Structure 1
Amino acid sequence: MTAAASARQILTSLHEVMASRTHAQAKLNQVVEIIAGELSSEVCSIYLLRQGMLELFATRGLNQAAVHVTRLGVGEGLTGTIAQNIETLNLDEAAAHPEFQYRSETGEEKFHSFAGVPIVRRARAIGVLTVQHVDPRKYEEVEIEALQTTAMVLAELIHNAGLVDGEALDDGGKAQTGQEVITGLKLVKGLAIGKAVFHQPRVTIEQTVAEDTEAERQRVYLAFDRMREQIDNMAKQADFGVGGEQEQVLETYKMFAYDEGWGRRINEAIDSGLTAEAAIERVQQRTRMRMREIQDPLLQDRMHDLEDLANRLIRIVSGQLGTAAQKGLAQDSILVAKNLGPAELLEYDKRRLKGVVLEQGSLTAHVVIVARALGIPVIGRVSNVRGLVRDGDEMLVDGDAGTVTLRPSTAVLEAFETRFARSKEKKASYARLRDVEPFTRDGERIEVMMNAGLRDDVSMLAMTGADGIGLYRTEFQFLVSAALPQRERQARLYREVLEAANGKKVIFRTVDIGGDKSLPYISSEIAKEDENPAMGWRALRLALEREGLMKSQARALLEGAAGRELNVMFPMVSEPWEFDAAKAVFDGQLSYLKDRKHKLPTAINYGVMLEVPSLAEVLDLLLPRLSFVSIGTNDLTQFLFAADRANPMLAERYDWLSPAILRFLHRVVQNSMGHKIDLGVCGEMGGRRLEALALLGLGIRRLSITPAAIGPIKELIRRVDTREITDAMKGWLANPPQNMRAELQAWAEEREIEVE
Structure 2
Amino acid sequence: MTSGAVEAARNILTSLHEVMASRNHAQSKLNNVVEVIGESLHSEVCSVYLLREGMLELFATRGLAQEAVHVTRMAVGEGLVGSIADRIETLNLAEAAAHPDFSYRPETGEDKFHSFAGVPIVRRERAVGVLCVQHVEPRRYEEVEIEALQTVAMVLAEMITNADLVDEEDVNAPGSLTSGAQQLRGLALVKGLASGVAVYHQPRVNIEHIVAEDTEAERQRVILAFDKMREQIDRMASQAEFGVGGEHEEVLETYRMFAYDEGWTRRINEAIDSGLTAEAAIERVQQRTRMRMRQIDDPLLADRMHDLEDLANRLLRIVSGQLGTAASMGLRNDAILIARNLGPAELLEYDKRRLKGVILEEGSLTSHVVIVARAMGIPVLGRVRGLRGVVREGDQLLLDADQASAMVRPPADLTEAFEARFAKSRERQAAYAALRDVHPTTRDGTRVQVMINAGLRDDLANLTMTGADGIGLFRTEFQFLVSATLPSRERQTRLYRDVMDAAGDRPVKFRTVDIGGDKTLPYLRHDDGEGEENPAMGWRALRVALEREGLLKVQARALLEAAAGRVLHVMFPLVAEPWEFDAAKAVFEGQLAYLRKQKKVLPEAIHYGVMLEVPALAEQLDVLAPKISFLSIGTNDLTQFLFAADRSNPKLAERYDWMSPAILRFLRRVVKSCEGHAVDIAVCGEMGGRRLEALALLGIGIHRLSITPASVGPIKDLIGKVDIAEIEAAMAQWLAQPPVDLRAELTAWAAARDIAVD
TM-score (norm 1): 0.96
Residue of 379, 384, 397 corresponding to 1:377: 379
Alpha-carbon separation, structure 2, partners of 1:349 and 1:247: 33
1:211 aligns with 2:216: no
1:432-486 Cα deviation digits (max 9, x unpaired): 1101110010100000000001112111100110100000011111111111111
Within-5 A mapping of 1:112-127: 112-127=114-129
1:22 counterpart residue number: 24
2:269 counterpart residue number: 267
Structure 2, gaps ≥5 residues long: none
1:58 aligns with 2:25: no
2:74 counterpart residue number: 72
Residue of 110, 113, 138 corresponding to 1:111: 113
Alpha-carbon separation, structure 1, partners of 2:648 and 2:153: 42
1:637 counterpart residue number: 639
1:329 aligns with 2:331: yes
Q: CA 1:277–1:509 in 2, change beyond 3 Å: closer, same or farther? A: same
1:486 aligns with 2:488: yes
1:429 counterpart residue number: 431
Q: How far is the alpha carbon of 1:525 from its aligned partner? A: 5.4
Residue of 539, 542, 550 corresponding to 1:540: 542
Q: CA 1:3–1:353 in 2, change beyond 3 Å: closer, same or farther? A: same
Alpha-carbon separation, structure 1, partners of 2:292 and 2:575: 48
Q: How far is the alpha carbon of 1:237 from its aligned partner? A: 6.9
Q: CA 1:628–1:283 in 2, change beyond 3 Å: closer, same or farther? A: same
Amino acid at match of 2:683: V
Maintained 8 Å contact 2:334/2:354: yes
Alpha-carbon separation, structure 1, partners of 2:115 and 2:619: 72
1:339 aligns with 2:305: no
Counterpart secondary structure, 2:130: strand
Within-5 A mapping of 1:590-601: 590-601=592-603
Q: How far is the alpha carbon of 1:623 from its aligned partner? A: 0.9
Alpha-carbon separation, structure 2, partners of 1:708 and 1:127: 48
2:718 counterpart residue number: 716
1:650 counterpart residue number: 652
Maintained 8 Å contact 1:244/1:515: no
2:229 counterpart residue number: 227
Within-5 A mapping of 1:520-535: 520-524=522-526, 528-535=530-537
Q: CA 1:527–1:258 in 2, change beyond 3 Å: closer, same or farther? A: closer
Q: How far is the alpha carbon of 1:533 from its aligned partner? A: 1.2
Q: CA 1:525–1:130 in 2, change beyond 3 Å: closer, same or farther? A: farther
Within-5 A mapping of 1:500-649: 500-524=502-526, 528-649=530-651
Q: How far is the alpha carbon of 1:22 from its aligned partner? A: 3.1
Q: CA 1:247–1:520 in 2, change beyond 3 Å: closer, same or farther? A: farther
Alpha-carbon separation, structure 2, partners of 1:233 and 1:544: 29
Q: CA 1:711–1:401 in 2, change beyond 3 Å: closer, same or farther? A: same
Maintained 8 Å contact 1:244/1:533: no
RMSD of Structure 2 on Structure 1 (CA): 2.0
Q: How far is the alpha carbon of 1:252 from its aligned partner? A: 3.2
Maintained 8 Å contact 2:241/2:531: no
Alpha-carbon separation, structure 2, partners of 1:571 and 1:96: 67
Q: CA 1:569–1:99 in 2, change beyond 3 Å: closer, same or farther? A: farther
Residue of 29, 44, 47 corresponding to 2:46: 44
Within-5 A mapping of 1:103-502: 103-174=105-176, 176-234=178-236, 247-502=249-504
Q: How far is the alpha carbon of 1:704 from its aligned partner? A: 0.3
Q: CA 1:671–1:311 in 2, change beyond 3 Å: closer, same or farther? A: same
Alpha-carbon separation, structure 2, partners of 1:290 and 1:14: 27
Counterpart secondary structure, 2:650: coil
2:749 counterpart residue number: 747
Amino acid at match of 2:753: R
Alpha-carbon separation, structure 1, partners of 2:361 and 2:714: 30
Moved more, 41-50 or 361-370: 41-50
Q: CA 1:326–1:731 in 2, change beyond 3 Å: closer, same or farther? A: same
Alpha-carbon separation, structure 2, partners of 1:490 and 1:245: 33
Q: CA 1:103–1:742 in 2, change beyond 3 Å: closer, same or farther? A: farther
Alpha-carbon separation, structure 2, partners of 1:643 and 1:156: 51
Q: CA 1:486–1:739 in 2, change beyond 3 Å: closer, same or farther? A: same
Q: How far is the alpha carbon of 1:527 from its aligned partner? A: 7.5
Counterpart secondary structure, 1:512: coil
Q: CA 1:206–1:94 in 2, change beyond 3 Å: closer, same or farther? A: same
Maintained 8 Å contact 2:243/2:532: no
Counterpart secondary structure, 2:645: coil
Percent of pairs with identical residues: 73
1:179-220 Cα deviation digits (max 9, x unpaired): 111111101111111111110111111110111212222222
Moved more, 408-417 or 445-454: 408-417
Q: How far is the alpha carbon of 1:526 from its aligned partner? A: 6.2
Q: CA 1:666–1:102 in 2, change beyond 3 Å: closer, same or farther? A: farther
Amino acid at match of 1:400: D
Alpha-carbon separation, structure 2, partners of 1:663 and 1:453: 30
Structure 1, gaps ≥5 residues long: none
Q: How far is the alpha carbon of 1:427 from its aligned partner? A: 0.6
Maintained 8 Å contact 2:510/2:570: yes
Alpha-carbon separation, structure 1, partners of 2:23 and 2:425: 58
Maintained 8 Å contact 2:76/2:177: no
Alpha-carbon separation, structure 2, partners of 1:443 and 1:167: 63
Moved more, 726-735 or 57-66: 57-66
Alpha-carbon separation, structure 2, partners of 1:494 and 1:248: 39
1:683-716 Cα deviation digits (max 9, x unpaired): 0011011111111111110000000101111011
Maintained 8 Å contact 1:360/1:380: yes
Alpha-carbon separation, structure 1, partners of 2:671 and 2:103: 69
Counterpart secondary structure, 1:62: coil
Q: How far is the alpha carbon of 1:431 from its aligned partner? A: 0.5
TM-score (norm 2): 0.96
Q: How far is the alpha carbon of 1:241 from its aligned partner? A: 12
Q: How far is the alpha carbon of 1:102 from its aligned partner? A: 3.3
Alpha-carbon separation, structure 2, partners of 1:112 and 1:683: 66
Q: CA 1:198–1:241 in 2, change beyond 3 Å: closer, same or farther? A: farther
Alpha-carbon separation, structure 1, partners of 2:581 and 2:528: 22
Q: How far is the alpha carbon of 1:157 from its aligned partner? A: 0.5
Residue of 72, 83, 101 corresponding to 1:99: 101
Counterpart secondary structure, 1:680: strand
Amino acid at match of 2:6: A
Amino acid at match of 1:180: Q
Q: How far is the alpha carbon of 1:310 from its aligned partner? A: 1.3
1:8-40 Cα deviation digits (max 9, x unpaired): 111122222233333333322222222122122
Q: How far is the alpha carbon of 1:651 from its aligned partner? A: 2.9
